[in-house]
Structure formats: C-alpha cells, structure tokens
Amino acid sequence: RTSLPRLALPGDLLAALDASRRRLGVDSIDLYQIHAPLVAASAEAVGDALAEAVLSGRCKAVGVSNYALDELLPLQRRLEKRGLSLASNQVEFSLLRQLPETSGLMAACRDMGIGTIAYSPLAMGR
C-alpha cells in the first residue's frame, strides 16, 4: 500500500502506483488501496483513476481505507459504471471503536460485496 497525502490528485495515484510496482519489481499489484479520501478530487475522478489502474493491468483489485459511507458510495457507483467494484475498505474497528458497524458502513459494504479489513483490532492497547 502506498500512502498518499490527503490532498493528492488522481494522477498522483497512478504515479504512486507505478512507483510502487517498480520498487516491488512486479508488473501488477494484487490489491491497491487508497490510504484516505482524496479531498482535492471528486469521487468521479478518483474512480476513473482506480478503474484505469485495474483496466490497464497495473493492479488486480482496488480498495480504500478510512472511507465513511458517504465517501464510499459515490466512488463505488463510479467504479460500477466501468464494470468494477471496490474490493475492500480498511477501517479502524475494535471492541472500543465500533462506529463502522453502528453507522451501517460494514453492512453496506457487505451488501455491495466490499470486504472490510479491520485495523487496530486491539484498540492500540487502550
């Protein structure tokens, strides 16, 4: 996973993906995830960049991290227009942090076939 600044643009996403592929010495990455919503770009632009990443063979699947439902839905809709879907949404989830479940995010992801990946499942020792 490549970490991009929150103000990165969709073109930066593809450049970072290509740099990751070079460093890893691979033609294609299995799962490429955006670390956080790209606040300087529309869901349509980000979706188009992610679609290009998959359709060009740079990666096999795309996912996101730290996306709330209102951020995830427009991105998923854009990908679906290209015949694709998000593979994953990585969120902080633990016994102490259950917002992804109580907000309906996990259920919506499940309904759309988007996997949920939990980070900090032990709540960072809190």
The structural domains of the chain, with segments of one domain joined by +, span 10-87
User: In this predicted structure, what is the pLDDT of residue 12?
Assistant: 85
pTM above 0.75, yes or no: yes
The tens-digit pLDDT sequence of the chain (126 residues) is 555 554 467 778 899 999 999 999 999 999 999 988 887 788 999 999 999 999 999 999 999 999 999 999 999 999 999 999 999 999 999 888 888 999 999 999 999 999 999 998 787 777
For residue 87, how many C-alpha atoms fall within 13 Å in the half-sphere facing its CB?
13
Q: Can you give the pLDDT at residue 39?
A: 78
- For residue 5, the model assigns a pLDDT of 53
Q: How high is the pLDDT of residue 3?
A: 56
Q: At 32, give phi and psi (nearest 5°).
A: -110, 120
Check: CB of residue 64 under 8 Å from CB of residue 32: no
> Which pLDDT score, from 0 to 100, does residue 121 have?
79
Cβ neighbours of residue 40 closer than 8 Å, sequence gap 6 or more:
7, 8, 9
Q: What pLDDT, on a 0 to 100 scale, did the predictor assign at position 40?
A: 77
SS3 sequence of the chain: CCCCCCCCCHHHHHHHHHHHHHHHCCCCEEEEEECCCCCCCCHHHHHHHHHHHHHCCCEEEEEEECCCHHHHHHHHHHHHHCCCCCCEEEEECCCCCCHHHHCCHHHHHHHHCCEEEEECCCHHHC
